[in-house]
Structure formats: structure tokens, C-alpha cells
Amino acid sequence: MIATAQEFLALMRSTDPVDYERFRNDSAPIEVWRELISRYSLANASIVRNKTAPVEILREIASDPRVLVRAEVAMTRRITEDIQETLARDPNASVRNTLANNSKATDRILELLAEDSEAFVRETARRRITERRAEQSTDATPH
């Protein structure tokens, strides 16, 4: 377990593969995540890469002012539909497109993105909807 914000930052900066594994997989108390967000917001994209960062922390980071950070959240497979909805309405089209490419984007979110103002976002969402329907019809076909 990661005990402090400073420990997380040290793991994040390390080139040691063991440290990298800990950075990606070790959990931390909610207070550590909150301190990182409030005092070390430049680490927000790295927080998203930790597989144990709580959804409530991801929800907060989803409104980070930096496009790169919001896109990192949009890539995360474990974000909830409410976070997806926030990102589906993001002012930056690349964030919305990243979300459309997320394999865990819900059908409702993909339908929303299929009506996006940007053509490339619409096309990505529509392609994902078509792929998902094809997968579902294949799964439903008796063998």
C-alpha cells in the first residue's frame, strides 16, 4: 500500500520496474489521493494510470483543466457512466473521441457521441456501435 503522496510521487518518477508495478497497482488511502489532487495536480494523469485509484477520485480528475488528463480518464475502462457522460460533453473533441474508443463506453454514451458536433467523433461512435452490434449478433447465433 502507498502510504503518502510523496511515496506515490517517488514511485511515479522511478525507473525501477518494481516501483513501476507498485505505482500502477498499489492502493492508497483516500487521503493520499486527495492530497495528490490538491497539492500535486500535475500528477493527475499519473493518478489515473493507477489501477486502484477510486472512482470518486477519477470523477474529480475528469474535470481537470488539461485536455491530456481528461483524455487519460476517458481511456480508463473502469469509469462509471456518470463520468462517461461528463466526458461525452467535454469541450474538446479529442477527449470525446477517446471516450468513443473506450471499449467500456456504454451504449447510451455511444448513442450520445454518435450525434456529436464533430464528424470524426460521430464516425468513431457509430463504428463502435456497429462493432458492438456485430459482436452481439455473433454471440446470439447458435453454433
Judging by beta carbons within 10 Å of its beta carbon (0-12, 13-18, 19+), is residue 39 exposed, middle or buried? exposed
Do residues 36 and 8 lie in contact, with contact meaning Cβ atoms separated by under 8 Å? yes
| Overall pTM surpassing 0.85 (yes/no) | yes
User: pLDDT class for 123, splitting at 50, 70, 90?
Assistant: very high
Calculate mean pLDDT across residues 102-117. 98
Distance CA 1, CA 27 (A): 5
Q: Which three cell numbers stand for residue 52?
A: 486502484
pLDDT tens digits, residue range 70-93? 999 999 999 999 999 999 999 999
Q: Is the pLDDT of residue 138 over 90?
A: no
